[in-house]
Structure 1
Amino acid sequence: MKIAIIGATGFVGSNILNELSSRNHEITAIVRNPKTDDNSTINWIKADVNEVENLSKLVAGHDVVVSAFNPGWTNLNIYEDFLLGAKNIQEAVKLSGVKRYITIGGAGSLFVAPNLQAVDTPDFPKAIFPGASAARDYLNILKEEKELDWAFFSPAFEMHQGITTGRTGKYRLGLENPVVDENQRSILSGEDLAVVIADEVENPKHHQVRFTAAY
């Protein structure tokens, strides 16, 4: 398959890039700061996600666009920048003619109780609230999208560089609620998040819905 990955150098994006590359797909890696390597299946391109017309030309002709866009957790304007970038990526994909669009959002919008999303609970970390809130608000925008065959992925609550399980290739899927283990923890490594996304790219199961995964 021919796959465009936006944000391919971040923690999430680089894991997705590595997994899809290992499956021998043809990849266009669209980033702010391109890398150089000897992998002939990866074409690195520098681009600004807010330049909609240019971005639409770059993703045109691909089978699927995967967005791991994140303006940076330390960005003081993360709420505004995330929403702007995400909406512009969505518009660029529509203009490109590509129909399949998978975007990685946050876990904060998962429901931990009826009508209660994690981002609205008292113990939700204040440091990541702006970014998590932006991802939640973008999901609500994306739910109104009727033209694209989109899917929004919410990671497990514990999905960060400190998860050392590596790539197991095992996971369980969910939709609106977090997937938890016998200890009521929602955990997934970055490598296995990439397996989830790569499996969804190759065998689409989620259409115009949000989904999640954990061990």
Structure 2
Amino acid sequence: MRVVVVGANGGIGRCVVTEALARGHAVTAVVRRPEEYQGLAIRVERGDVLDPADMARVAADAEALVSAVGGGDGPGRGRLIEPAAHALVAGLRQLGDGAPRLLVVGSAGSLTTRTGACLWDDPTVTPRQLELMRAHGRALDYLRTVSDLDWTVLSPPQNLLPGERTGAYRTAADHLVATPDGLSTISLADFATALVDELEHPRHHGERFTCGY
């Protein structure tokens, strides 16, 4: 499968690239700093996720586009999330019937907890976390209005941490995946596994799902 990964410089993007390459997929990494992928047997493109024409260019020969665009660091770290969703949709629409499938890495913020409230309503969420969660929430709301593209959002659990790849995880729709003692977590490697599994065996079309242990 020809897979384009936008935001491949980030922690999630790198894990998705690694997982997809390990399974034999042809991967294009779209990054702001191409030099970070020097020496790897991978196609690297410099791309602007806020430019629809640029996204159409990098996705033109792909079967799937994965957006692992993060919020960056510092104040206003959620500012890219919603505009990026709009630009990706606009860019893929330029490709008409040849548009690839769109998989977007979301946030846990709008997932519901055992109390029935959204995670972003938890008083322990910091203002910086809330900013990013709300931005992802607006992007998801927008994607839910899109009916002419095949899109999926994968939200992580509450804690997305470094760790080994086990290949084991559970999924849910809009509810936070947690253990009986309330721990909601997954390793970056297993999150990437869940995402590439969805690429290979699509089950969630035009909807969000989540995963965790």
Aligned equivalents of 1:99 and 1:45: distance in 2? 17
What residue identity is the alignment partner of 2:201? N
Q: What's the CA shift for 1:113?
A: 5.2
Write the deviation string for residues 32-65 of structure 1: whole angstroms up to 9, x where unpaired: 111333433x201111111211221111121111
Write the deviation string for residues 2-35 of structure 1: whole angstroms up to 9, x where unpaired: 0010001101000000000111100111111113
Alignment of 1:39-188 (within 5 A): 39-40=40-41, 42-72=42-72, 74-96=73-95, 97-112=98-113, 116-161=117-162, 164=163, 166-188=164-186
What residue identity is the alignment partner of 1:158? N
**Paired residues of 2:59 and 2:100 also in contact (CA < 8 A):** no
Q: What's the CA shift for 1:80?
A: 2.8
Write the deviation string for residues 85-116 of structure 1: whole angstroms up to 9, x where unpaired: 22212221222331411000100010125763
Between stretches 74-83 and 185-194, larger displacement belongs to: 74-83
RMSD of equivalent CA atoms: 1.5
Give unmatched runs, 5+ long, in structure 1: none
Give unmatched runs, 5+ long, in structure 2: none
Q: Secondary structure at the match of 1:75?
A: coil
What residue identity is the alignment partner of 1:116? A
Amino-acid identity (%): 28
TM-score, normalization by structure 2:
0.93
Aligned equivalents of 2:140 and 2:146: distance in 1? 10
What residue identity is the alignment partner of 2:27? I
Q: Secondary structure at the match of 2:66?
A: strand
Q: Residues 114 and 147 of structure 1: is their aligned pair in 2 closer, same or farther, counting only changes over 3 Å?
A: farther
Following TM superposition, where does structure 1 have runs of at least 4 consecutive aligned residues deviating by more than 6 angstroms? Answer: none
Q: What's the CA shift for 1:82?
A: 1.9
Aligned equivalents of 2:80 and 2:30: distance in 1? 17
TM-score, normalization by structure 1:
0.92
What residue identity is the alignment partner of 1:214? G
What residue identity is the alignment partner of 2:127? K
Q: Secondary structure at the match of 1:101?
A: strand
Aligned equivalents of 1:114 and 1:87: distance in 2? 32
Write the deviation string for residues 60-93 of structure 1: whole angstroms up to 9, x where unpaired: 1211111001131x23222332211222122212
**Paired residues of 2:50 and 2:83 also in contact (CA < 8 A):** yes
**Paired residues of 2:33 and 2:46 also in contact (CA < 8 A):** yes
Q: What's the CA shift for 1:141?
A: 0.8
**Paired residues of 1:69 and 1:86 also in contact (CA < 8 A):** no
Aligned equivalents of 2:79 and 2:165: distance in 1? 33
